Amino acid sequence: MKTYELLAVFKPNLDAEEVDKQISSLNDLISGFGGNVESTDKMGRKKLAYDIQNFRDGFFVSMNLALPADKVAEFKRQLRLNDNLLRTMFMEVSKKQLCK
């Protein structure tokens, strides 16, 4: 299993409980693919550099997770299908960063 970082921007019209529900559904999705979430950092509501779907800000969440490499494409597809996400950035964490 490889280690990845996911930065997700949720729509700002969600309240705190709904964002927590979305995060727990992401955790369930990752567990369903045989992965695990190592850490979750709720960064809060931040202003966006430009409008996305007519929203000027979003709720940012950063997650470090381990996921089997053969499940990554399906996980990305599931992220695109989530209507509450404005943007995602999914990247592999290099071994150099893990050693620090």
Domain CATH number, residue 81: 3.30.70.60
DSSP 16: H
Residue 20: its pLDDT value, please?
Answer: 94
Give, to the nearest 10 degrees, the angle between helix 16-32 and helix 72-81.
Answer: 150
Confirm whether 98 is domain-assigned: no
DSSP 69: G
Confirm whether 31 is domain-assigned: yes
pLDDT tens over the chain, length 100 residues: 899 999 999 999 999 999 999 999 999 999 999 999 999 999 999 999 999 999 999 999 999 999 999 999 999 999 999 999 999 999 999 776 555 5
Q: Which domain holds residue 6?
A: 2-93
Q: Domain count of the chain?
A: 1
Confirm whether 100 is domain-assigned: no
Confirm whether 44 is domain-assigned: yes
Range 31-44 burial, b when 16+ CB lie within 10 A, else e: eebebebeeeeeee
Report which of 84, 80, 68, 86 is spatially closest to residue 18, judged by C-alpha positions: 84
Confirm whether 63 is domain-assigned: yes
Confirm whether 64 is domain-assigned: yes
Confirm whether 99 is domain-assigned: no
Task: Kindly report the pTM of this predicted structure.
Answer: 0.88
Confirm whether 21 is domain-assigned: yes
